[in-house]
Chain A
Amino acid sequence: MSAPINRRGWLQAGLASAGALALGACDKITNSKQGVAFLQSAEGLTRRAQRLLVDRKALAREFSHADISSDFRPNGSIDPQDPDYLTLKKTGFADYHLTIDGLVERPLSLSLADLRAQAARTQITRHDCVEGWSSIAKWTGARLGPLIDQAGLKPQARYIVFHCYDTLDGPMDGKGRYYESIDLIDAYHPQTILAYAMNDAALPVAHGAPLRLRVERQLGYKQAKYIRRIEAVADYAHLHQGGGGFWEDRGYEWYAGI
């Protein structure tokens, strides 16, 4: 009578260990450089497919006032303690200046008043976090395209990098400083703005005061907050760990359209 039970016991044990082995193998692949590189080959495919399919100027969906979230979740840094930022915050960002430099003909330094005087756009859009949730808000800001045209991109420029004030990881030694980068297709997209207002009020600190990026066809981690400097570059490999962004350096996809 005990034979079938034993057999079943063996079968169960066998299946469980086969499962554990398979899972262990998956973890090993995940933790190996080649394994991740192989899996991440899908990212290039996704980016090319979306770039091919989606018109360069196709707009992200815009919503009505009634759709605006009352519980828009601030994520990542929500109250930066970096000394430079605290100094600016003390005076209500009156001394804030945005630098636009790198591979440009005419580097710019713009105060918030200067930024408000630029070609502006207001849009009610949905913010899609990589975690899976979405919140809707109204954003007003200066369009990035005309701004980088004022600075005049040099022909070698291929990416726009956003250097931020906030440290999201570790001590404030610059290594955990937030940054992001986008390509020129997204930089010139009509909905790509440097937002200084959210829901008709000045951008709150939790959401990136005084200036944050909105690049509406990408996930939330691309929407850099607390922007300090915008740099035009030919390549981002020399910046930080070379991934092109804070979360990209920590394993996330550079192309965050999915």
Chain B
Amino acid sequence: MAKPKKVLVYRHAAVTRATHWINVLALTFLLMSGLNIFGAHPALYWGQKAVFAQPWVLIGAEPKGDAMVGFTQIGTAKFNTTGVLGYSGKVGEREPVAFPAWATVPSYRDLADSRHWHFFFAWLFVINGLTYWLVGLARGHIVKDLAPTRADLKPKNVWHEIVTHAKLRFPKGEEARHYNVLQKGAYLAVIAVLLPLMVVTGLCMSPGMDAFAPWVVDFFGGRQSARTIHFITAFSLIGFVLLHLFMVVASGTWNNIRSMITGRYAIVPDKSGETA
């Protein structure tokens, strides 16, 4: 059988590609500086204020016999997380710190400096996100490529996509020219829900912005709830990125990466009479 001929289709516009990679950069620094900031008070609460005796998440270090152990407490469950959370570093030089040096910017605990990194990249992230949204709406990218169609949302189609994804069988031919309903759902959840949620809950922690829109803080249940949701959303984004990277590798690493760099994506077109 002859090798099927591939054709390169233009998949991603320059703005999409540029904003994607700027987003990668900004989110990486936001996450790593954010984990450093969290280290200044490694506890999470619900409501407007902190009830110090009742955090729902607490990361810390405590002596156990002769040794120090790092612990992570979620609700009433307490886990020994020595070496990663609460107490980490080279063996012999371990110190009490919420997240390990390799996960934070700067690598040492410093609230003032991590805030500089965080807010610098927060601005880059917001400007980048607004650019993506404005261009995406103006050019119809979001409506045309990301909004699910009626056919996409038919239960039969959704189920079909779930089954084929679970089997890691990806669309070929004409079908591969468009995002499928699971991709559309995942990307929309990120660009329309998770990423904006990061900005809004982040601003809810700003006493200046609270005077501007206190009802937004109330909507999230208070400043400490907003801080908690900021944290949960950040970890949801880590979850998305891991799944995204897995799918990139599973559906053709180089083809996907090339399409996000040059815009060109290789597909094998259907032959007449055949269905994909």
Considering only residues 41-61 of chain A, those with a C-beta below 8 Å from chain B are: 41-43, 45-46, 50, 53-55, 58-61
Contact (Cβ within 8 A) A217 B49: no
Known: A23-B102, A23-B107, A129-B41. A71 touches B52 (CB 8 A): yes
Give the number of residues in B that approach A within 8 Å (Cβ atoms): 44
Contact (Cβ within 8 A) B49 A132: no
Q: How far is the CB of B25 from chain A (nearest CB, A)?
A: 11
Q: Cα distance A20–B206 when bound, in Å? A: 32
Q: How far is the CB of A31 from chain B (nearest CB, A)?
A: 8
Considering only residues 83-117 of chain B, those with a C-beta below 8 Å from chain A are: 101-102, 105-108, 110-113, 115-117
Known: A50-B209, A128-B223, A216-B207. A133 touches B50 (CB 8 A): yes
User: Nearest chain-A residue to B217 (Cβ)?
Assistant: A61
Q: Cα distance A24–B214 when bound, in Å? A: 40
Q: Cα distance A129–B207 when bound, in Å? A: 10
User: Nearest chain-B residue to A189 (Cβ)?
Assistant: B211
Q: Which of A19, A39, A129 has the most chain B CB atoms closer than 10 A to its own CB?
A: A39
Contact (Cβ within 8 A) A63 B223: no
Q: How far is the CB of A28 from chain B (nearest CB, A)?
A: 9
In the assembled complex, which residues on chain B have CB atoms less than 8 Å from the CB atom of A41?
120
User: Nearest chain-A residue to B38 (Cβ)?
Assistant: A132
Q: Cα distance A62–B224 when bound, in Å? A: 16
In the assembled complex, which residues on chain B have CB atoms less than 8 Å from the CB atom of A63?
48
Contact (Cβ within 8 A) A257 B208: yes
Contact (Cβ within 8 A) B120 A54: no
In the assembled complex, which residues on chain B have CB atoms less than 8 Å from the CB atom of A54?
208-209, 211-212
Instruction: Choose from A36, A39, A61 the contact partner of B210 (Cβ within 8 Å).
Output: A61
State the majority secondary structure of interface residues on B.
helix
Number of A-B residue pairs at CB separation under 8 A: 140
Q: Cα distance A225–B186 when bound, in Å? A: 49
In the assembled complex, which residues on chain B have CB atoms less than 8 Å from the CB atom of A132?
37-38, 40-41, 205, 227
A143 at the interface (CB under 8 A from B): no
Q: Cα distance A59–B43 when bound, in Å? A: 28
Contact (Cβ within 8 A) B110 A30: yes
Contact (Cβ within 8 A) A133 B41: yes
B254 at the interface (CB under 8 A from A): no
Q: Which of B101, B208, B214 has the most chain A CB atoms closer than 10 A to its own CB?
A: B208
Q: Cα distance A134–B112 when bound, in Å? A: 18
B242 at the interface (CB under 8 A from A): no
Give the number of residues in A that approach B within 8 Å (Cβ atoms): 51
Q: Cα distance A127–B275 when bound, in Å? A: 64
Q: How far is the CB of B195 from chain A (nearest CB, A)?
A: 19
Instruction: Choose from B40, B52, B110 the contact partner of A73 (Cβ within 8 Å).
Output: B52
Q: Which of A105-113, A205-213, A247-255 touches B?
A: A247-255
Contact (Cβ within 8 A) B223 A126: yes
Q: Cα distance A110–B224 when bound, in Å? A: 38
In the assembled complex, which residues on chain B have CB atoms less than 8 Å from the CB atom of A218?
207-208
Known: A61-B214, A129-B41, A131-B40. A136 touches B49 (CB 8 A): yes
In the assembled complex, which residues on chain A have CB atoms less than 8 Å from the CB atom of B49?
67, 69, 126, 134-136
Q: How far is the CB of A190 from chain B (nearest CB, A)?
A: 11
Q: Which of B120, B207, B224 has the most chain A CB atoms closer than 10 A to its own CB?
A: B207
In the assembled complex, which residues on chain B have CB atoms less than 8 Å from the CB atom of A20?
102
A161 at the interface (CB under 8 A from B): no
B-contact bits for A73-107, CB 8 A (1 contact / 0 none) = 10000000000000000000000000000000000
A130 at the interface (CB under 8 A from B): yes
Known: A26-B106, A67-B49, A126-B49. A60 touches B210 (CB 8 A): yes
A27 at the interface (CB under 8 A from B): yes
Tell me the A residues contacting B by CB distance below 8 Å: 19-20, 23-24, 26-27, 30, 36, 38-43, 45-46, 50, 53-55, 58-61, 63, 67, 69, 71, 73, 126, 128-136, 216-219, 247, 250-253, 256-258
25 CB < 8 A contacts A-B: A23-B107, A24-B107, A26-B117, A27-B107, A30-B116, A30-B117, A39-B116, A41-B120, A46-B123, A54-B208, A58-B211, A60-B210, A60-B211, A69-B49, A69-B50, A69-B51, A71-B52, A128-B223, A130-B111, A131-B41, A132-B227, A133-B43, A216-B207, A218-B207, A250-B112
Please give me the 4 A-B residue pairs with the lowest Cβ-Cβ distance, nearest first. Answer: A257-B208, A251-B112, A258-B206, A133-B50
- 17 new A-B pairs (CB below 8 Å) besides A217-B207, A250-B112? A26-B107, A27-B108, A30-B106, A30-B110, A30-B116, A50-B212, A53-B209, A67-B49, A73-B50, A132-B37, A132-B205, A134-B48, A216-B211, A218-B208, A251-B110, A251-B113, A252-B111
Tell me the B residues contacting A by CB distance below 8 Å: 32, 37-38, 40-41, 43, 45, 48-53, 101-102, 105-108, 110-113, 115-117, 119-120, 122-123, 203, 205-212, 214, 217, 223-224, 227
